[in-house]
Amino acid sequence: MKVLVTGGGGFIGEAVVRALLARGDSVVTFDVQFPARWTGHANLVTVRADITDMAAVAQIVMTHRPQAVVHTAAIVGVLSSIASPLSLVRVNIEGSLNVFEAMRLGSIKRCVHISSEETYGHFRTDPVTEDHPLDAVYPYGISKATVEQLGRTYRDVHGLEVLNVRTCSVYGPGLPRDRVPKNVVEAALAGRALHIPSGGDMAIDHTYIDDTVSGTLAILDQPAHRFDAYNIASGHTVTLGKILAIVRELIPSAQISIGPGWGRHGDQIDMVRKGALDVSRAANEMGWRPRYDIRAGLAAYIEAMKRKD
């Protein structure tokens, strides 16, 4: 299969590209920049392009004629979305429309879009199923919910199939944002003391990057879908305090601690109420299940970081 991956230079995008190549697919990917560690691959085409440039996106699609799209390109995170809402709209919403339009012009039918649990807003149940109302609170979640709904419009009007991966707090090697568990793992490995003032009681679903990728590819590969959204996560909550305790067990020299209470984005804005994501739809429809609980995921993360050093 030839797959176009948008945002291939990003955290999830790069992981998806590498997984596709590893199983023998041909990949075309574009982003505004790529990691210096990228090396040539016979089945990989990289293009420097901006998703907000409709002409560039359309040219990539019409030139390379992929059979499907995995859409990972986005401005990610609540704080980023609040700091630059106009850029968020241009990249996340206008950029997604550019992808959908290019697909329409190129007669490409399937797009797997990386969405977010932020689309749910405050969780009304725990765990939360895909039938939970989309009631996003902050601009990032609003943008993702908007893209999901635009995808349904393109489905109904143009016959596109836009499938949404609702994942949660993805972590692992390459995570760019300074948050748990990245900050505590890096501090522990460096022998640096770190105290986080609050948030130890916050329990949310953390997803190891390999599970996000395997779930995304399962959705991509499924011949037909009854649903257009799937929770892809660990299926369980863990408090930030427990994460630090596990890191201390895995790295006994770690000097890390966290205060009690609920979490805040950058110690500025309260996080929405969350919980676990129910992953039974993905299990029932595709046979997909997460491989990593939080302990296994943290262990894999730490080992990958050690190899990197």
pLDDT digits (tens, 9 = 90+) for 285-299: 999 999 999 999 999
pLDDT value at position 271? 81
200, 205, 211, 216 alpha-carbon torsion, rounded to 10°: -140
pTM, 2 dp: 0.96
pLDDT value at position 309? 57
CA neighbor of 289 nearest in space, from 232, 238, 237, 236: 232
Give the chain as a DSSP string.
-EEEEETTTSHHHHHHHHHHHHTT-EEEEEES---TT----TTEEEEE--TT-HHHHHHHHHHH--SEEEE-----SHHHHHH-HHHHIIIIIIHHHHHHHHHHHHT--EEEEE--GGGG-S-SSSSB-TTS-----SHHHHHHHHHHHHHHHHHHHH--EEEEEE--SEESTT--S--TTHHHHHHHHHT--EEE-S-TT-EE--EEHHHHHHHHHHHHH-S--S-SEEE-S-S--EEHHHHHHHHHHHSTT--EEE-SS--EETTTEEPPP--PBP-HHHHHHH-------HHHHHHHHHHHHHHH-
Which residues are the active-site residues? Answer: 140
Q: What angle do CA 241, 126, 151 make, to 5 degrees?
A: 110
pLDDT value at position 34? 84
Residues of the chain with pLDDT below 50 are none
- Domains, in order of start, for the chain: 2-170+206-231 (3.40.50.720), 173-205+236-308 (3.90.25.10)
In whole angstroms, what is the distance from residue 263 CA to residue 201 CA? 8
Q: What angle do CA 241, 168, 118 make, to 5 degrees?
A: 110
